Amino acid sequence: MKFTELSDYPVPAGTVTIWTPTTRTDLAGWQSDPRPFTYDQSASIWRSAAGDDDENSWLGAIFEIDDELDAERFESCLNQFLTRHEALRSTADPTSDDPHHGRRTYRGGHLGVDTEVAGGFDSGDDVRELLTGIFDARLAPTRWPHCIVATISSPRGGFCVAFAADHVVMDAYSILLSMSEIRRLYISARRGASTEMADVGSHLDFGVHDRAVGLGLTGEHPAVSRWRTFLDRSADAPGFGLPLVRPHLETGDRARTPRQRGVSEYVATDRLATFVTSAARTSGHGTQTAVFAALAVTLRALTGRDTLRLTMPMHTRTEARYAGSVGWYVGLAPLEVDLSGSVTFDDALTATAAAIDEVRHLPLFPYQRIVELLGTGGEPEFVVSYLDIRHVPGAAEWDAARAQILRGGSRSDREVYLWIARVPGGITVSARHPGHDPADASIRDLITTYATILRTLATEGTALPLSSYTCATFAGTAALDDARPA
């Protein structure tokens, strides 16, 4: 499972149909809703309304269903999906100028799905261009619907589903849940099987909690102080530390900045990833610690810096009712891993585990509220997430369905995002970075070095000096299955 733009997926040719949620037969079903937006949602809505956001802030997925497209059953499946998740039936009130509380929610009984046959296409490139244009143009934090689905069917049988949702209503984990849920609902309906699902909580209720936590913060709160220190240090030493843009190429104008590029690679097979976990557990640590320790060692080898400094997204689904809920359940933590006292990889694991434990609770405090109190924009520039998605419902079917997570395009001369995922097939690293050759070379050096370190960790264990993990030559992904456990 990789996380890329649609341009990096082999989209098939075929007949394209666009499925768009609608309430046009029951506009009176929209009602004012007193529940506030989360701080993250408010910031996104405000930027969009002010015209300050030139990002395509949607996330999505594309996957195959090995069955005929039955339009009636597919529409019914989408209706069930939209009805189940309240976040998809709520939006900013266009008559309100309050980005915090100006919400309206559809509570009527006539939610529908409009279908639009876009035509038959002989080229997958043309389908890709069409879908990217539709998702970019129609999805925004300020207007409903926040989710659009497309199907691509061909006479050969089976069909492909591509959907996108604005980030204001879905995080990446929600995309995975949605992909599996849509597949299950449709396939069950085709087979006449039961589709009973456990009730889930509403992200709108989570927004009440998020707002209450944020309003309880002051400038002296420990979470605010920790972020203040982190952002001050980051200003002196930006986190990524590798060449991104030649100085004369920096534009200073985001609208004129080239689109970011992306790369997504397997850095470990499932077998090798299992060895990595075993090596970490031998030292009393887990996979997450090993993943970030290896990144810290990688960047020290490439930059000479002892301290890895990055922003780490973590989920905020702290209540069971939100486990299967669609919404934006992500907070941020300021992670600093200091390897200055580390001699072996064991030492690096210990330092990393301590650093993660120290900030593990901070994502529960809304980042946008914290930077508001600090009086700074403070948008993260080096962001790294880790997610083990093997146990998400339906994960075992993703490879066969050729599933892939998608994101919209971005523009920045400074931002570097890495998504590290433990997937059924191993460990992947997906990245977006400035759209220039220096950044491209830096990211590829990072991924190659990172893969080398993981392989050495898996085969040699954790007791070697750190230099031993970076001096090996990466044999390439084809050789990863030849690894032997430590």
Give dist(CA 357, CA 374) in Å, integer: 24
The per-residue DSSP string of 224-270 comes to HHHHHHHHHHHHHS-SS-S--S-GGG--S-GGGSPBPEEEEEEEEEH
Contact (Cβ atoms closer than 8 angstroms) between residue 160 and residue 152: yes
Contact (Cβ atoms closer than 8 angstroms) between residue 459 and residue 475: no
What is the chain's mean pLDDT, rounded?
92
Distances, alpha carbon 99 to alpha carbons 3, 34, 46, 138, 218, in Å: 30, 12, 6, 20, 21
Tell me what percent of the chain is helix, strand and coil, each rounded to the nearest 5.
40, 25, 35
pLDDT at 156 (0 to 100): 82
- Given pLDDT bands bounded at 50, 70 and 90, which one contains residue 475? very low
103-106 β-sheet, strand order: 30-33, 103-106, 90-92
Give dist(CA 309, CA 453) in Å, integer: 19
Q: Which residues contact 322 (CB under 8 A, 6 or more apart)?
A: 200, 201, 203, 206, 329
pLDDT at 336 (0 to 100): 96
Structural tokens at position 22 = 């609608």
3-class DSSP assignment, residue 334 = strand
Q: Map out the domains of the chain with their CATH numbers.
A: 3-208 (3.30.559.10), 216-472 (3.30.559.30)
What is the DSSP secondary structure assignment for residue 341, as one 8-state letter?
T
pLDDT at 236 (0 to 100): 62
- Return the minimum-mean-pLDDT range out of 105-119, 235-249, 257-271: 235-249
Contact (Cβ atoms closer than 8 angstroms) between residue 314 and residue 330: yes
Distances, alpha carbon 476 to alpha carbons 184, 441, 459, 469, in Å: 36, 17, 15, 16
pLDDT at 193 (0 to 100): 86
The per-residue DSSP string of 138-190 comes to H-BTTBS--EEEEEEE-TTS-EEEEEEEETTT--HHHHHHHHHHHHHHHHHHH
pLDDT at 476 exceeding the cut of 50:
no
pLDDT at 51 (0 to 100): 78
- Given pLDDT bands bounded at 50, 70 and 90, which one contains residue 473? very low
pLDDT digits (tens, 9 = 90+) for 313-332: 999 999 999 999 999 999 99
> Pick the residue with more confidence: 54 or 465?
465
Distances, alpha carbon 131 to alpha carbons 47, 55, 121, 352, in Å: 24, 17, 12, 41
Helix 71-84 with 172-191: angle, nearest 10 deg:
140
pLDDT at 249 exceeding the cut of 60:
no
Closest residue by Cα to residue 86 from 19, 170, 24, 163? 170
pLDDT digits (tens, 9 = 90+) for 354-382: 999 999 999 999 999 999 999 987 688 99
Give dist(CA 386, CA 311) in Å, integer: 12
What is the residue type of 444? R
- Return the minimum-mean-pLDDT range out of 229-238, 313-322, 394-403, 442-451: 229-238
Structural tokens at position 151 = 């199907």
3-class DSSP assignment, residue 217 = coil
Closest residue by Cα to residue 161 from 77, 58, 262, 83? 77
Give dist(CA 229, CA 133) in Å, integer: 41
Sequence length of the chain is 486
Q: What are phi and psi of 153, to 5 degrees?
A: -120, 150
Stated pTM of the model: 0.92
